[in-house]
Structure 1
Amino acid sequence: MREKFDQVKGGFIGIAYGDAFGMPAEMWSRELIQKKLGYIKTFLPGHPDNRISAGFAKGEVTDDTINSILVTEMLSENGGRVDAQVFIKKLRYWMKHSDKSSAVVGPSTAKALELIEAGTPMEEAGSTGTTNGAAMKIVPIGLLAGYNCKEEVDSCHLLHQVIELCRPTHFTSCAISAACAIAAGAAAAVHGEKDLSKIYEYMTEMAEKGSAYGNSIGSPSVACRMKMARHFTEQEPQKALKDIYDYVGTGISSAESIPAAAALFYLSEGDPAVCAEYAANIGGDTDTIAAMACGICGAYKGAESFKTEDIELLERTNAISFTELTEKLLGNTPC
């Protein structure tokens, strides 16, 4: 179980690593990234011309990592089970006390919270949420599922957990589908699957299953776009990045950024450092794509795949401990 512990810890490091690596270029086009930052190869501070990342320090994470931590705290306090009301309470507290939350909180989450505050039931509040706000914070659920499984991942339990977390803010077919894909990738990686193709296939399978739940939205199929995105990974990396950007998309839509993240995990062969570089330069929602993809990469390669100085930078800058996060998530399960 110590190996699985290392993989779960790697998943947490990967979320923060990708998030901070992609943060400076968030929501910029590929052309603007090249003009303003060149080719990103290392951690950088937020760019003063970027309305989202301006003011962020080198190695600082955004709401992708913060939300993942809130999910971890919720799971820890609730016996490893999702309680959407507890999560919403934690999210509200963070938004109230963080001076940067207004710049990074997504539109679906912001709208849903306003409706909940006004007394709208959770399922109704999240009935129009189609962005990547569900998938961006879902990796801890996958990490726990992969850690707890014995012979194989309990897909039914994983699906149920994802649906419950999506309920208040992203209770739509496409958002649930997208979140299922990312959770499945993390679960399969921690479970010990080494075949990248099998992990990708499981992610696609779970995306298809998840699409049957929530408010049915007229949206491109996440699973179908994942299949298309994988086709582009058969090219040399820079051509693959351009085609994923042009044809799949890298915006905040679940149908764009989740297939893109899955493809970058596959294209990088599960290497979190390579994956973060690809994600930071691809354009669009770079920090969220990197957080999701690198979270799966970290779970695939384990904590030892990261440089010590990078881990120290992330922990120091964000006042977090990846070991403590891992212990908190797995507190209900003996190592």
Structure 2
Amino acid sequence: MTTTSLATLEDRAAGCLIGAAVGDALGGPVEGWTPEQIVQRHGGRVRGIVGPWYEDWRTARPIAPYHKGDGHVTDDTLMTHALVRVYGTVRDHLDAHAIADHLVPDLMGTPRWIPELEAEALPLQRIFLAEKWLVTRLHYGHVDPREAGSGNIVNCGAAMYMAPVGIVNAGDPRGAYEEALDIAGAHQSSYGREAAGVFAAAVAAAFVPGATAASVVDAALSLAKDGTRAAIAAVREAALAHRDFESALEPLRAAVAPFDPVGPDYRAPSLGARRPSRLHSIEELPVALGMLLVADGEYRDAVLGAVNYGRDCDSIATMAGALAGALGGAAAVPDAWAKEVAEASRLDLHAPAAEVAAVAREVHARDVRRRRAHEAAFAALTEPR
């Protein structure tokens, strides 16, 4: 892959968030199914935007009442854009208290267009139960935001919307990791919280000039802990043996399976699924990183690999799309896909990227001033007397 070492912050931010939204929209209609079922339903691999799995999507189980398909984004994108709005309000680094003070009121108090419902509604009425946990614990339970994630099911719910944290900490994977861990404490615990930190770090690493798919995965591994690190390492080893997603689908699933407590049937999780553990990992992040490697960072192949993997493929494609888009910039995302998703979802996909890039510049300027103040204070403490 040819890296875009001279791409601007704004261009990479656009690639990241537009790429995430497009991946989300492509993966939505086949979420929850196996690669074999996807081939049977669509007469082959999915190669672009497709319609809903069921024509009667309003009442068909287990899809109802969501219109997944036809370019509609899902809750991954809705939550990502909500986090961007928090950054736009605070205009500095965030913590778990910012989630309680700003994200929760946004979810439960401001009606917005919800593409899958084809209606204006509160975001709270669309998000999954694991995300409703934020409102339950923080608004109604008055739990300390730093601890509110404890007790929630452990899944990818926090990780799926952490791309803005990586953008605000562009080029600083460790800073992104630590900030995302703090933010995600309000939402998740255990390996769900860890995945949020590692995904944000991977996004930040993708902004480094000259970054590649390999360097992004190396950055993720340098920070990941416990089962999350082991799962990423296993998937990386499997991915390096493949150069097309078709041949990689089964090997990547086999590599992540020992760390994924959900089990072989995604719609019938095992009794041990989604419980805290130092030995396990969410499936979505390691597979997204694996598809990024298989595609050598190229957007189209990384996202289509994630989509055709099935299972929780809207979140996998959201993460793969964010990373590949950050590596390649806005031009990496097929323009026809981006336009169709924006029109179908009635969303401006460019505005959130421009907003978070502007915030990133402001935060970096503050960080420089803070660092210089620290350096001056430390110098005064340590200079010879």
- Answer yes or no: is the 8 Å Cα contact 2:159–2:199 preserved in 1: yes
CA distance in 1, matches of 2:30, 2:173: 37
Summarize deviations over 1:171-192 as a string: whole Å, max 9, x none: x231222112211111111122
Summarize deviations over 1:92-142 as a string: whole Å, max 9, x none: 346898574689633422344323343241344311341101110001110
Instruction: Report the equivalent of 1:281.
Output: 308
- One of 5, 16, 26 as aligned partner of 1:11: 16
CA distance in 2, matches of 1:65, 1:78: 20
CA distance in 1, matches of 2:317, 2:111: 22
Task: Measure how far apart 1:10 and its partner are.
Answer: 0.3
Task: Measure how far apart 1:308 and its partner are.
Answer: 2.4
Task: Measure how far apart 1:271 and its partner are.
Answer: 1.3
The 1:244/1:2 distance shift into structure 2, 3 A limit, reads: closer
CA distance in 1, matches of 2:61, 2:204: 34
The 1:198/1:71 distance shift into structure 2, 3 A limit, reads: same
The alignment partner of 1:125 has SS state of coil
Structure 1 segment 1-335 matched on structure 2, within 5 A: 3-37=8-42, 38-48=44-54, 51-52=62-63, 55-82=67-94, 83-85=98-100, 86-93=102-109, 98=114, 100=117, 105-121=127-143, 122-129=145-152, 130-146=154-170, 149=171, 153=172, 155=174, 157-170=175-188, 172-208=189-225, 221-236=227-242, 237-249=245-257, 254-332=281-359, 333=361
The 1:94/1:275 distance shift into structure 2, 3 A limit, reads: farther
Summarize deviations over 1:140-197 as a string: whole Å, max 9, x none: 1101211xx5xxx262x32332022202211x23122211221111111112242332
CA distance in 2, matches of 1:246, 1:199: 22
Equivalent residue letter for 1:91: L
- Answer yes or no: is the 8 Å Cα contact 2:30–2:310 preserved in 1: yes
Matched positions, count: 317
- Answer yes or no: is the 8 Å Cα contact 2:107–2:124 preserved in 1: no
TM-score by length of 1: 0.85
CA distance in 2, matches of 1:173, 1:61: 27
- Answer yes or no: is the 8 Å Cα contact 2:198–2:223 preserved in 1: yes
- Which stretch of structure 1 is more off in the superposition, 199-208 or 290-299? 199-208
The alignment partner of 2:169 has SS state of helix
5+ unaligned residues in a row in structure 2: which ranges? 1-5, 55-59, 118-122, 267-273, 275-280, 365-385
Task: Measure how far apart 1:330 and its partner are.
Answer: 2.3
CA distance in 1, matches of 2:316, 2:125: 17
TM-score by length of 2: 0.75
Summarize deviations over 1:56-76 as a string: whole Å, max 9, x none: 341110000111101111011
- Answer yes or no: is the 8 Å Cα contact 2:49–2:69 preserved in 1: no
CA distance in 2, matches of 1:5, 1:125: 33
The alignment partner of 1:281 has SS state of helix
CA distance in 1, matches of 2:250, 2:124: 31
Q: Which has the higher helix share?
A: 1
Task: Measure how far apart 1:283 and its partner are.
Answer: 1.6
The alignment partner of 1:10 has SS state of helix
- Answer yes or no: is the 8 Å Cα contact 1:193–1:199 preserved in 2: no
Equivalent residue letter for 1:113: V
5+ unaligned residues in a row in structure 1: which ranges? 212-220
| Larger Rg, first or second structure (1 or 2) | 2
Equivalent residue letter for 2:90: N
- Answer yes or no: is the 8 Å Cα contact 1:264–1:293 preserved in 2: yes
